[in-house]
Structure 1
């Protein structure tokens, strides 16, 4: 009898009961299909609460009667996760893992905003119209939270695509008092070029951090926050299809990568330092490696913990920050500044691959976005991004490509090469008097640079 009392007349399946809540069953994110999207769905908003006590069991919250939910601890911070457009009606595949990572990070209330009824519609423009209603609904809910003692400063809204703009509307409704909005590849279509009140902007919360991964298609190109991260330039993400031969992945991979990149930063096992720069090209050319303006803290780390740079970022006009990633998790790269001085009489143009090793493990940086112009008595600076971190570098391998044919015998005569870690405070390593032959690898043991020896 007890089991049947937990079931609605329309649900003839066994349900899991929430721990500590004998009268409540675990609720799942709404699962629809392409049929719903073709017909179109009317807006329905469900708020699912997850806590450390029940990180895999969602409690369906009333929008007005929060006092009935002892699981919702008003003294704890609250994070809202707001999804975006769902053209197939399926639940986001990343949602459960995202929730669990947040709860493992901190004791908080995680509220998943399920507006799949409304977001599932082949007509994108109809879905956009519903974002304002979702925002009004969340605004009213947060005001109820306030009545029960919640501080707006303790609220963090994480919005994906359309969810980013919904977060902005909520923040504006609450007079910019929300503590933080994280926008993961904010939607571009229909929002680009719109006035501030019709999209996310930096005035919508005390701190707004934004990640761009698909600015040439589904995402928003221009800066929107106190800090805007452009992963891999904000366009083609490593490992994502480059052609429509993989139509499903081609249209969503770059856009969805924003969520995976952010999730990878929550437990801090992998961090990506990002560098302020006016363009991605300048970043790749190694023209933006200075972090002096950030003092001892250094350049901001992308992701969940960027809030540590809040005060200094709120004082800067520079909002564009760049970093590159691997194709899979762990996504973070390790950055080195490489300074090269040659003694060839004539200028040399070419590419370079660099490997670093601790004797067992090795990391690789392939510098190929454009040929480097080496000139005598001129120190050339290169940004080398390695696919993994090597704690203690014992060996370095260089391979030079002159770019003038495989059998070219052109050589690069290096007077000095210096490797300076950018992500951690270690002394630079050097090597002097190297002769690199086209397409032949040269391995050596680096030594502390002469100017840094104690």
Structure 2
């Protein structure tokens, strides 16, 4: 909660409104946040017809709105400084890149701009009522509830849920991007986003220990890096404003990355992050199973979900890289050892291709127990996907600084890709790993029949 409390006290440079010509997002100053703002909801329509110029629309003026197309509403959250969301333009453009649709930015900056978070939170149901008035007129003109997708960020996720509840869960989809936690935690379903608010509700939780909501809220709930500290985000207050908002905003940037599809961010349904890290929940996506769910825009393609029926609170975990496109490539490292006594420790594995590209994974979240003739399967996560692995290196460590150095005697090590299960599995036999010493070897294709 430190980040949440301090965030409210940080000043920001003043910005003024600039609404001449094409409609632009309301820009207010920190002074406006201090004195408070009354609620004023503006709907700004973006279409493929004129991407560079948004139109103000309302329940009596539809402009170029086309009721036969899909409509995606983008709803922001708390704005303690009055500034416009830095990600808004990219999100609008990304959505229009994937489909010719109506993109409606719900600008409630006048209302969300305040240093007193409860004041902004108290206006969420009023924003939902404004949206209902507009959607009612959409329906009159021939639109379909099933063709509506709401993307809500922080407080905006709960606003989406309130709208969905007004239509008895018949909206096509709601995406919650790190739904707000403060003042919503432990609230009943009618006072927050919940799985019954749309035909499909997907949620990304990226800051569950501060600004976000911890418990599941959707049909499928994604927890990047366990939903806690996100790679690449500052770990201390010395990171400035990024310390307070980086984890919270990571959900938005994960969704943005999914629109570009430079790579697919894959998640694994699981009961806990620990089980995922220990490789107990990576059965989907293999040669004889259904594909794993994708994070972000294409989450509703997951075969585990049936439109109109849905699933209740399936949790899915995954790790990410520090920077976009955030993808991680998973391998299982299977090690059979023959030490007489149990050896406990961690493994660092590095891959190199024939061009010299390297990628490394430290599997050190908890010590593995290597027992004689027993296979230990470790889940390795790499930032790069190397198609042809030419060399592998392993480092074994017990983590002991003052104690004796140990050896790990390996009968066989096998490397198998989860992202590409049809790739040949790679093996090496009869290795002795000296503690904290890198052992490099060239792998060979594993025999088809393994003992």
Question: TM-score under structure 1 normalisation?
Answer: 0.90
Kept after mapping to 2: 8 A contact 1:354/1:364: yes
Q: Does 1:286 align with 2:279?
A: yes
CA 1:58–1:200 in structure 2 vs 1: closer, same or farther (change >3 Å)? same
Matches within 5 A, 1:376-415: 376-405=372-401, 408-415=404-411
Q: How far apart in 1 are the matches of 2:34 and 2:19?
A: 30
How far did residue 411 of structure 1 move?
1.3
CA 1:358–1:108 in structure 2 vs 1: closer, same or farther (change >3 Å)? same
Alignment equivalent of 1:355, drawn from 350, 359, 365: 350
After superposition, the CA RMSD in angstroms is 2.1
Kept after mapping to 2: 8 A contact 1:429/1:447: yes
How far did residue 64 of structure 1 move?
2.1
How far did residue 223 of structure 1 move?
0.4
CA 1:257–1:180 in structure 2 vs 1: closer, same or farther (change >3 Å)? same
Partner of 1:239: 232
Deviations 1:246-268 (A, max 9, x none): 34222211111111111111121
How far did residue 37 of structure 1 move?
0.4
Kept after mapping to 1: 8 A contact 2:354/2:388: no
Kept after mapping to 1: 8 A contact 2:291/2:302: no
Q: How far apart in 2 are the matches of 1:444 and 1:349?
A: 23
Q: Does 1:59 align with 2:74?
A: no
CA 1:411–1:149 in structure 2 vs 1: closer, same or farther (change >3 Å)? same
CA 1:12–1:384 in structure 2 vs 1: closer, same or farther (change >3 Å)? closer
Q: Does 1:435 align with 2:428?
A: no
Matches within 5 A, 1:317-356: 319-356=314-351
Q: How far apart in 2 are the matches of 1:184 and 1:253?
A: 13
How far did residue 391 of structure 1 move?
2.1
Partner of 1:159: 152
Q: How far apart in 1 are the matches of 2:141 and 2:19?
A: 34
Kept after mapping to 1: 8 A contact 2:271/2:315: yes
Partner of 1:260: 253
Partner of 2:11: none
Partner of 2:111: 118
State the aligned residue count: 431
Structure 1's unaligned 5+ residue stretches are: 1-10, 16-24
Comparing 50-59 and 156-165, the one that deviates more: 50-59
How far did residue 442 of structure 1 move?
1.7
How far did residue 408 of structure 1 move?
4.5
Kept after mapping to 2: 8 A contact 1:215/1:221: yes
Kept after mapping to 1: 8 A contact 2:17/2:28: no
Q: How far apart in 1 are the matches of 2:17 and 2:121?
A: 34
Comparing 80-89 and 294-303, the one that deviates more: 294-303
Q: How far apart in 2 are the matches of 1:386 and 1:353?
A: 11
How far did residue 54 of structure 1 move?
2.2
Comparing 224-233 and 361-370, the one that deviates more: 361-370
Deviating runs (4+, > 6 A) in structure 1? 11-14, 292-295
Structure 2's unaligned 5+ residue stretches are: 1-15
Q: How far apart in 2 are the matches of 1:103 and 1:356?
A: 38
Q: How far apart in 1 are the matches of 2:304 and 2:406?
A: 51
How far did residue 184 of structure 1 move?
0.3
CA 1:36–1:309 in structure 2 vs 1: closer, same or farther (change >3 Å)? same
How far did residue 363 of structure 1 move?
1.6
Deviations 1:263-302 (A, max 9, x none): 1111211212211221112221222222289964322121
Partner of 1:19: none
Kept after mapping to 1: 8 A contact 2:220/2:311: no
How far did residue 185 of structure 1 move?
0.3
Deviations 1:84-124 (A, max 9, x none): 00000000001101111111111111111000000001111
Q: How far apart in 2 are the matches of 1:286 and 1:268?
A: 25
Partner of 2:243: 250
Partner of 2:179: 186
Question: TM-score under structure 2 normalisation?
Answer: 0.91
Kept after mapping to 2: 8 A contact 1:354/1:398: yes
How far did residue 448 of structure 1 move?
2.1
